[in-house]
Structure 1
Amino acid sequence: MQKDAYTLILEAIDAGVYKPGDRLVESELAERLGVSRTPVREALQRLETQSMLTRDGRSLIVASLDHNQLAELYAVRTELEGLAARLAARHATDEEVRVLRGMVEDDKHLLAGDPRALSRANKRFHKQIHLASHNRFLVQQLDLVHRSMALMATTSFAAEGRDEVAMAEHEEIVRAIEQRDGEAAYQALRNHISKAFETRLRVDAGELRLR
Protein backbone atom coordinates (compact mmCIF):
# COMPACT_ATOMS: atom_id res chain seq x y z
CA MET A 1 0.00 0.00 0.00
CA GLN A 2 1.36 3.38 -1.02
CA LYS A 3 2.06 5.74 1.86
CA ASP A 4 0.37 9.12 1.92
CA ALA A 5 2.12 12.47 2.28
CA TYR A 6 1.28 12.70 5.98
CA THR A 7 2.92 9.35 6.75
CA LEU A 8 5.98 10.11 4.62
CA ILE A 9 6.59 13.47 6.30
CA LEU A 10 6.04 11.98 9.75
CA GLU A 11 8.52 9.18 8.98
CA ALA A 12 11.06 11.74 7.75
CA ILE A 13 10.78 13.64 11.04
CA ASP A 14 11.07 10.40 13.00
CA ALA A 15 14.17 9.39 11.03
CA GLY A 16 15.82 12.74 11.67
CA VAL A 17 15.69 13.87 8.04
CA TYR A 18 13.86 16.93 9.35
CA LYS A 19 14.94 18.03 12.82
CA PRO A 20 13.38 20.44 15.34
CA GLY A 21 13.70 23.95 13.93
CA ASP A 22 13.90 22.85 10.28
CA ARG A 23 11.59 24.71 7.91
CA LEU A 24 9.20 22.66 5.80
CA VAL A 25 8.38 24.16 2.42
CA GLU A 26 5.30 22.86 0.64
CA SER A 27 6.75 23.01 -2.88
CA GLU A 28 10.03 21.35 -1.88
CA LEU A 29 8.22 18.54 -0.05
CA ALA A 30 5.91 17.92 -3.01
CA GLU A 31 8.90 17.59 -5.33
CA ARG A 32 10.83 15.39 -2.92
CA LEU A 33 7.87 13.07 -2.29
CA GLY A 34 6.75 13.03 -5.90
CA VAL A 35 3.21 14.15 -5.14
CA SER A 36 1.11 17.22 -5.85
CA ARG A 37 1.08 20.15 -3.44
CA THR A 38 -2.52 19.59 -2.28
CA PRO A 39 -1.88 16.41 -0.22
CA VAL A 40 1.32 17.98 1.14
CA ARG A 41 -0.61 21.08 2.22
CA GLU A 42 -3.23 18.91 3.93
CA ALA A 43 -0.52 16.84 5.63
CA LEU A 44 1.23 19.97 6.94
CA GLN A 45 -2.04 21.32 8.31
CA ARG A 46 -2.69 18.02 10.06
CA LEU A 47 0.80 17.93 11.56
CA GLU A 48 0.42 21.51 12.76
CA THR A 49 -2.88 20.59 14.45
CA GLN A 50 -1.08 17.72 16.19
CA SER A 51 1.67 20.14 17.40
CA MET A 52 4.33 18.33 15.36
CA LEU A 53 4.85 21.57 13.43
CA THR A 54 4.71 25.15 14.62
CA ARG A 55 4.59 28.59 13.01
CA ASP A 56 7.62 30.83 12.68
CA GLY A 57 6.14 33.89 11.04
CA ARG A 58 4.59 32.56 7.85
CA SER A 59 6.78 29.46 7.79
CA LEU A 60 6.09 26.04 9.28
CA ILE A 61 8.95 24.49 11.21
CA VAL A 62 9.40 21.18 13.01
CA ALA A 63 8.42 21.78 16.63
CA SER A 64 10.73 21.25 19.59
CA LEU A 65 10.00 20.35 23.19
CA ASP A 66 10.85 22.67 26.06
CA HIS A 67 11.85 21.34 29.49
CA ASN A 68 8.31 21.20 30.86
CA GLN A 69 6.91 19.51 27.76
CA LEU A 70 9.72 16.95 27.91
CA ALA A 71 8.95 16.20 31.57
CA GLU A 72 5.23 15.87 30.80
CA LEU A 73 5.92 13.53 27.87
CA TYR A 74 8.20 11.27 29.91
CA ALA A 75 5.71 11.18 32.80
CA VAL A 76 3.03 9.83 30.48
CA ARG A 77 5.42 7.54 28.63
CA THR A 78 6.72 6.00 31.86
CA GLU A 79 3.27 4.94 33.01
CA LEU A 80 1.99 3.75 29.64
CA GLU A 81 5.14 1.78 28.83
CA GLY A 82 5.09 0.20 32.27
CA LEU A 83 1.46 -0.82 31.75
CA ALA A 84 2.33 -2.32 28.35
CA ALA A 85 5.06 -4.44 29.95
CA ARG A 86 2.70 -5.61 32.69
CA LEU A 87 0.07 -6.63 30.14
CA ALA A 88 2.70 -8.26 27.91
CA ALA A 89 3.78 -10.43 30.84
CA ARG A 90 0.18 -11.59 31.16
CA HIS A 91 -0.95 -11.84 27.55
CA ALA A 92 2.07 -12.23 25.22
CA THR A 93 2.15 -15.47 23.27
CA ASP A 94 5.18 -17.72 23.60
CA GLU A 95 6.14 -16.69 20.06
CA GLU A 96 6.04 -12.98 20.97
CA VAL A 97 8.20 -13.59 24.01
CA ARG A 98 10.75 -15.44 21.87
CA VAL A 99 10.82 -12.52 19.42
CA LEU A 100 11.57 -10.14 22.31
CA ARG A 101 14.34 -12.43 23.52
CA GLY A 102 15.78 -12.56 20.00
CA MET A 103 15.76 -8.77 19.75
CA VAL A 104 17.72 -8.44 22.99
CA GLU A 105 20.33 -10.95 21.80
CA ASP A 106 20.63 -9.34 18.36
CA ASP A 107 20.89 -5.81 19.73
CA LYS A 108 23.96 -6.72 21.80
CA HIS A 109 25.92 -6.65 18.54
CA LEU A 110 25.05 -2.97 18.12
CA LEU A 111 26.82 -1.88 21.31
CA ALA A 112 29.37 0.92 20.85
CA GLY A 113 28.04 1.34 17.34
CA ASP A 114 25.83 3.89 15.64
CA PRO A 115 23.52 5.64 18.16
CA ARG A 116 20.90 5.98 15.42
CA ALA A 117 20.97 2.23 14.78
CA LEU A 118 20.58 1.62 18.51
CA SER A 119 17.69 4.07 18.61
CA ARG A 120 15.94 2.26 15.75
CA ALA A 121 16.48 -1.09 17.49
CA ASN A 122 15.12 0.40 20.71
CA LYS A 123 11.96 1.59 18.93
CA ARG A 124 11.43 -1.90 17.46
CA PHE A 125 11.86 -3.43 20.91
CA HIS A 126 9.35 -1.10 22.56
CA LYS A 127 6.88 -1.48 19.69
CA GLN A 128 7.01 -5.27 20.12
CA ILE A 129 6.16 -4.90 23.81
CA HIS A 130 3.27 -2.59 22.92
CA LEU A 131 1.88 -5.17 20.50
CA ALA A 132 2.44 -8.00 22.99
CA SER A 133 0.20 -6.17 25.48
CA HIS A 134 -2.74 -7.11 23.25
CA ASN A 135 -4.53 -3.85 24.10
CA ARG A 136 -5.32 -1.83 20.99
CA PHE A 137 -6.22 1.34 22.90
CA LEU A 138 -2.92 1.32 24.77
CA VAL A 139 -1.04 0.75 21.51
CA GLN A 140 -2.79 3.77 19.96
CA GLN A 141 -1.85 6.02 22.89
CA LEU A 142 1.74 4.83 22.84
CA ASP A 143 1.92 5.53 19.10
CA LEU A 144 0.97 9.14 19.86
CA VAL A 145 3.61 9.37 22.59
CA HIS A 146 6.34 7.94 20.37
CA ARG A 147 5.35 10.32 17.58
CA SER A 148 6.12 13.22 19.91
CA MET A 149 9.45 11.60 20.85
CA ALA A 150 10.58 12.42 17.30
CA LEU A 151 10.63 16.10 18.30
CA MET A 152 13.80 15.55 20.33
CA ALA A 153 16.91 16.48 18.39
CA THR A 154 19.08 13.68 19.76
CA THR A 155 18.64 10.16 21.04
CA SER A 156 19.68 9.31 24.60
CA PHE A 157 21.74 6.49 23.04
CA ALA A 158 24.15 9.17 21.84
CA ALA A 159 25.21 9.77 25.46
CA GLU A 160 28.43 8.05 26.50
CA GLY A 161 27.77 4.76 28.30
CA ARG A 162 24.01 4.76 27.81
CA ASP A 163 23.98 1.93 25.25
CA GLU A 164 25.34 -0.82 27.53
CA VAL A 165 23.12 0.24 30.44
CA ALA A 166 20.02 0.37 28.24
CA MET A 167 20.69 -3.09 26.81
CA ALA A 168 21.02 -4.48 30.35
CA GLU A 169 17.68 -2.84 31.17
CA HIS A 170 16.11 -4.49 28.11
CA GLU A 171 17.41 -7.83 29.35
CA GLU A 172 15.74 -7.28 32.72
CA ILE A 173 12.43 -6.36 31.08
CA VAL A 174 12.40 -9.45 28.87
CA ARG A 175 13.35 -11.72 31.75
CA ALA A 176 10.36 -10.47 33.75
CA ILE A 177 8.04 -10.99 30.77
CA GLU A 178 9.44 -14.50 30.24
CA GLN A 179 8.71 -15.26 33.88
CA ARG A 180 5.18 -13.87 33.45
CA ASP A 181 5.85 -11.48 36.33
CA GLY A 182 3.69 -8.48 35.50
CA GLU A 183 4.76 -6.33 38.44
CA ALA A 184 8.48 -6.94 37.81
CA ALA A 185 8.01 -6.15 34.10
CA TYR A 186 6.13 -2.96 34.98
CA GLN A 187 8.84 -1.78 37.36
CA ALA A 188 11.68 -2.76 35.02
CA LEU A 189 10.24 -0.80 32.11
CA ARG A 190 9.37 2.22 34.26
CA ASN A 191 12.96 2.22 35.53
CA HIS A 192 14.24 1.97 31.94
CA ILE A 193 12.26 5.04 30.83
CA SER A 194 13.21 6.95 33.99
CA LYS A 195 16.91 6.31 33.33
CA ALA A 196 16.53 7.43 29.71
CA PHE A 197 14.90 10.68 30.89
CA GLU A 198 17.64 11.23 33.47
CA THR A 199 20.28 10.70 30.79
CA ARG A 200 18.61 13.23 28.51
CA LEU A 201 18.43 15.81 31.32
CA ARG A 202 22.10 15.30 32.14
CA VAL A 203 23.03 15.73 28.48
CA ASP A 204 21.01 18.95 28.31
CA ALA A 205 22.69 20.17 31.51
CA GLY A 206 26.14 19.45 30.07
CA GLU A 207 26.97 16.72 32.57
CA LEU A 208 27.18 14.01 29.91
CA ARG A 209 28.86 14.20 26.52
CA LEU A 210 27.42 13.02 23.25
CA ARG A 211 29.49 10.69 21.16
Structure 2
Amino acid sequence: MPSTETGPTDAYRRILQAIDNGEFNPGDRLVESELADRLGMSRTPIREALQRLETQSVLARDGRSLIVSSLDHDQLGELYVVRAELEGLAARLAAQHAAPEEIRVLYDMIDADKKLMSDPKAMSRANKRFHRQIHLASHNRYLIQQLDSVRRSMALLSTTSFSAEGRPEVAMAEHNAIVDAIAGRDGDGADEAARAHISIAYETRLKIDAEGRNGS
Protein backbone atom coordinates (compact mmCIF):
# COMPACT_ATOMS: atom_id res chain seq x y z
CA MET A 1 0.00 0.00 0.00
CA PRO A 2 1.55 3.37 -0.99
CA SER A 3 2.66 5.69 1.79
CA THR A 4 0.33 8.57 2.61
CA GLU A 5 2.90 10.39 4.72
CA THR A 6 2.97 14.09 3.88
CA GLY A 7 4.69 15.56 6.94
CA PRO A 8 8.03 17.35 7.20
CA THR A 9 9.96 14.08 7.40
CA ASP A 10 8.54 12.93 4.06
CA ALA A 11 9.10 16.38 2.53
CA TYR A 12 12.71 16.31 3.73
CA ARG A 13 13.29 12.85 2.30
CA ARG A 14 11.76 13.72 -1.07
CA ILE A 15 13.65 17.01 -1.48
CA LEU A 16 16.94 15.37 -0.51
CA GLN A 17 16.24 12.53 -2.95
CA ALA A 18 15.57 15.07 -5.72
CA ILE A 19 18.94 16.71 -5.02
CA ASP A 20 20.64 13.30 -4.91
CA ASN A 21 19.06 12.36 -8.25
CA GLY A 22 20.29 15.56 -9.89
CA GLU A 23 16.83 17.08 -10.27
CA PHE A 24 18.22 20.07 -8.37
CA ASN A 25 21.86 21.02 -8.84
CA PRO A 26 24.25 23.19 -6.82
CA GLY A 27 23.18 26.81 -7.14
CA ASP A 28 19.54 26.01 -7.99
CA ARG A 29 17.01 28.06 -6.05
CA LEU A 30 14.36 26.15 -4.09
CA VAL A 31 11.06 28.00 -3.77
CA GLU A 32 8.68 26.91 -1.04
CA SER A 33 5.50 27.44 -3.08
CA GLU A 34 6.89 25.65 -6.14
CA LEU A 35 8.02 22.67 -4.05
CA ALA A 36 4.59 22.48 -2.41
CA ASP A 37 2.95 22.24 -5.83
CA ARG A 38 5.54 19.78 -7.12
CA LEU A 39 5.24 17.43 -4.14
CA GLY A 40 1.51 17.89 -3.58
CA MET A 41 1.97 19.11 -0.02
CA SER A 42 1.06 22.13 2.03
CA ARG A 43 3.76 24.74 2.53
CA THR A 44 4.22 24.06 6.26
CA PRO A 45 6.01 20.68 5.96
CA ILE A 46 8.00 22.05 3.01
CA ARG A 47 9.13 25.01 5.11
CA GLU A 48 10.20 22.75 7.98
CA ALA A 49 12.07 20.44 5.60
CA LEU A 50 13.91 23.37 4.02
CA GLN A 51 14.90 24.67 7.45
CA ARG A 52 16.29 21.24 8.35
CA LEU A 53 18.26 21.02 5.09
CA GLU A 54 19.67 24.49 5.68
CA THR A 55 20.77 23.47 9.19
CA GLN A 56 22.56 20.47 7.65
CA SER A 57 24.27 22.77 5.09
CA VAL A 58 22.59 21.00 2.17
CA LEU A 59 20.97 24.36 1.40
CA ALA A 60 22.51 27.81 1.77
CA ARG A 61 21.20 31.38 1.87
CA ASP A 62 21.58 33.60 -1.16
CA GLY A 63 20.01 36.83 -0.04
CA ARG A 64 16.48 35.88 0.91
CA SER A 65 16.50 32.75 -1.21
CA LEU A 66 17.60 29.20 -0.42
CA ILE A 67 19.84 27.51 -2.95
CA VAL A 68 21.40 24.07 -3.17
CA SER A 69 24.86 24.28 -1.62
CA SER A 70 28.04 23.54 -3.55
CA LEU A 71 31.40 22.20 -2.41
CA ASP A 72 34.63 24.00 -3.22
CA HIS A 73 37.94 22.22 -3.84
CA ASP A 74 38.97 22.18 -0.18
CA GLN A 75 35.57 21.01 1.04
CA LEU A 76 35.64 18.19 -1.50
CA GLY A 77 39.01 17.03 -0.17
CA GLU A 78 37.82 17.24 3.43
CA LEU A 79 34.71 15.24 2.58
CA TYR A 80 36.69 12.45 0.92
CA VAL A 81 39.14 12.24 3.84
CA VAL A 82 36.24 11.64 6.22
CA ARG A 83 34.50 9.31 3.79
CA ALA A 84 37.59 7.13 3.39
CA GLU A 85 37.93 6.78 7.17
CA LEU A 86 34.28 5.91 7.72
CA GLU A 87 33.94 3.59 4.71
CA GLY A 88 37.08 1.74 5.80
CA LEU A 89 35.68 1.30 9.29
CA ALA A 90 32.32 0.14 7.92
CA ALA A 91 34.04 -2.51 5.78
CA ARG A 92 36.18 -3.61 8.73
CA LEU A 93 33.13 -4.01 10.97
CA ALA A 94 31.21 -5.75 8.20
CA ALA A 95 34.02 -8.32 8.02
CA GLN A 96 33.38 -9.00 11.70
CA HIS A 97 29.61 -8.83 11.87
CA ALA A 98 27.99 -9.35 8.45
CA ALA A 99 25.66 -12.33 8.25
CA PRO A 100 26.29 -14.83 5.42
CA GLU A 101 23.03 -13.64 3.85
CA GLU A 102 24.27 -10.04 3.82
CA ILE A 103 27.48 -11.09 2.09
CA ARG A 104 25.52 -12.99 -0.56
CA VAL A 105 23.40 -9.87 -1.16
CA LEU A 106 26.57 -7.82 -1.71
CA TYR A 107 27.82 -10.31 -4.30
CA ASP A 108 24.40 -10.30 -5.98
CA MET A 109 24.53 -6.50 -6.15
CA ILE A 110 27.89 -6.61 -7.91
CA ASP A 111 26.58 -9.10 -10.47
CA ALA A 112 23.51 -6.95 -11.12
CA ASP A 113 25.52 -3.72 -11.31
CA LYS A 114 27.77 -5.11 -14.06
CA LYS A 115 24.79 -4.80 -16.40
CA LEU A 116 24.61 -1.02 -15.76
CA MET A 117 28.17 -0.07 -16.68
CA SER A 118 27.15 1.82 -19.83
CA ASP A 119 24.89 4.14 -17.80
CA PRO A 120 26.87 6.43 -15.42
CA LYS A 121 23.78 7.71 -13.60
CA ALA A 122 22.43 4.20 -13.03
CA MET A 123 25.88 3.12 -11.86
CA SER A 124 25.99 6.04 -9.43
CA ARG A 125 22.64 5.03 -7.93
CA ALA A 126 23.72 1.39 -7.72
CA ASN A 127 26.99 2.41 -6.09
CA LYS A 128 25.11 4.25 -3.35
CA ARG A 129 22.96 1.17 -2.72
CA PHE A 130 26.05 -1.04 -2.56
CA HIS A 131 27.84 1.15 -0.05
CA ARG A 132 24.67 1.53 2.01
CA GLN A 133 24.46 -2.27 2.22
CA ILE A 134 28.00 -2.40 3.60
CA HIS A 135 27.10 0.30 6.12
CA LEU A 136 24.16 -1.78 7.32
CA ALA A 137 26.34 -4.90 7.46
CA SER A 138 28.63 -3.08 9.91
CA HIS A 139 25.79 -3.34 12.46
CA ASN A 140 26.88 -0.10 14.13
CA ARG A 141 24.08 2.45 14.27
CA TYR A 142 26.35 5.37 15.22
CA LEU A 143 28.66 4.75 12.29
CA ILE A 144 25.65 4.49 9.96
CA GLN A 145 24.43 7.89 11.20
CA GLN A 146 27.79 9.47 10.39
CA LEU A 147 27.82 7.86 6.94
CA ASP A 148 24.31 9.19 6.31
CA SER A 149 25.68 12.67 6.98
CA VAL A 150 28.46 12.07 4.46
CA ARG A 151 25.89 10.81 1.97
CA ARG A 152 23.94 14.05 2.27
CA SER A 153 27.07 16.02 1.42
CA MET A 154 27.89 13.70 -1.48
CA ALA A 155 24.49 14.59 -2.94
CA LEU A 156 25.86 18.10 -3.56
CA LEU A 157 28.27 16.83 -6.22
CA SER A 158 26.88 17.55 -9.66
CA THR A 159 28.98 14.95 -11.47
CA THR A 160 29.68 11.27 -10.95
CA SER A 161 33.08 9.62 -11.18
CA PHE A 162 31.37 6.86 -13.17
CA SER A 163 31.30 9.19 -16.17
CA ALA A 164 35.08 8.75 -16.54
CA GLU A 165 36.12 6.27 -19.21
CA GLY A 166 36.91 2.87 -17.71
CA ARG A 167 35.85 3.83 -14.19
CA PRO A 168 32.78 1.51 -13.98
CA GLU A 169 34.84 -1.59 -14.79
CA VAL A 170 37.57 -0.66 -12.30
CA ALA A 171 34.99 0.19 -9.61
CA MET A 172 33.34 -3.21 -10.00
CA ALA A 173 36.69 -4.91 -9.43
CA GLU A 174 37.22 -2.71 -6.36
CA HIS A 175 33.76 -3.59 -5.02
CA ASN A 176 34.53 -7.26 -5.51
CA ALA A 177 37.80 -6.91 -3.58
CA ILE A 178 35.98 -5.29 -0.66
CA VAL A 179 33.36 -8.03 -0.51
CA ASP A 180 35.96 -10.79 -0.90
CA ALA A 181 37.73 -9.41 2.18
CA ILE A 182 34.44 -9.15 4.10
CA ALA A 183 33.54 -12.73 3.13
CA GLY A 184 37.00 -13.87 4.24
CA ARG A 185 36.51 -12.12 7.61
CA ASP A 186 39.64 -10.10 6.85
CA GLY A 187 39.01 -6.83 8.65
CA ASP A 188 42.35 -5.27 7.71
CA GLY A 189 41.93 -6.26 4.08
CA ALA A 190 38.36 -4.94 3.93
CA ASP A 191 39.43 -1.63 5.48
CA GLU A 192 42.35 -1.29 3.05
CA ALA A 193 40.23 -2.20 0.00
CA ALA A 194 37.50 0.28 0.94
CA ARG A 195 39.99 3.10 1.53
CA ALA A 196 41.71 2.38 -1.79
CA HIS A 197 38.33 2.42 -3.55
CA ILE A 198 37.42 5.83 -2.11
CA SER A 199 40.89 7.21 -2.88
CA ILE A 200 40.66 6.21 -6.54
CA ALA A 201 37.11 7.62 -6.76
CA TYR A 202 38.39 10.92 -5.35
CA GLU A 203 41.30 11.03 -7.79
CA THR A 204 38.94 10.31 -10.67
CA ARG A 205 36.60 13.09 -9.59
CA LEU A 206 39.49 15.56 -9.36
CA LYS A 207 40.47 14.70 -12.93
CA ILE A 208 36.89 15.19 -14.14
CA ASP A 209 36.67 18.56 -12.40
CA ALA A 210 40.05 19.65 -13.83
CA GLU A 211 38.99 18.69 -17.36
CA GLY A 212 35.73 20.61 -16.87
CA ARG A 213 37.61 23.76 -15.85
CA ASN A 214 40.05 23.47 -18.74
CA GLY A 215 37.21 22.97 -21.18
CA SER A 216 35.21 25.97 -20.05
> TM-score, normalised to structure 2's length?
0.93
1:155 is aligned, of 143, 149, 160, to 160
* 1:208 CA displacement: 11
1:122 corresponds in structure 2 to 127
1:83 is aligned, of 86, 89, 96, to 89
Contact 1:174 1:185 in 2 (8 A): yes
% identity of equivalent residues: 70
- In 2, Cα distance between equivalents of 1:37 and 1:134: 37
1:37 corresponds in structure 2 to 43
Q: Which runs of 5+ in 2 are unaligned?
A: none
2:99 is aligned, of 93, 98, 122, to 93
Q: 1:47 to 1:190 in 2, by over 3 A?
A: same
* 1:161 CA displacement: 1.4
2:182 counterpart of 1:177: yes
Superimposed CA distance per residue, residues 124-174 of structure 1 (whole angstroms, 9 cap, x where no aligned partner): 100000000010100111011011100000111111111111111001111
* 1:178 CA displacement: 1.0
Per mean C-alpha deviation after superposition, the further-off stretch among 187-196 and 49-58 is 49-58
Give the superposed CA RMSD. 1.5
> TM-score, normalised to structure 1's length?
0.95
Count of residue correspondences: 208
The equivalences for 1:139-150 within 5 A come to: 139-150=144-155
Superimposed CA distance per residue, residues 27-81 of structure 1 (whole angstroms, 9 cap, x where no aligned partner): 1000001111111111111111111011112111100000111111100000000
The equivalences for 1:1-211 within 5 A come to: 1=3, 2=5, 4-111=10-117, 113-206=118-211
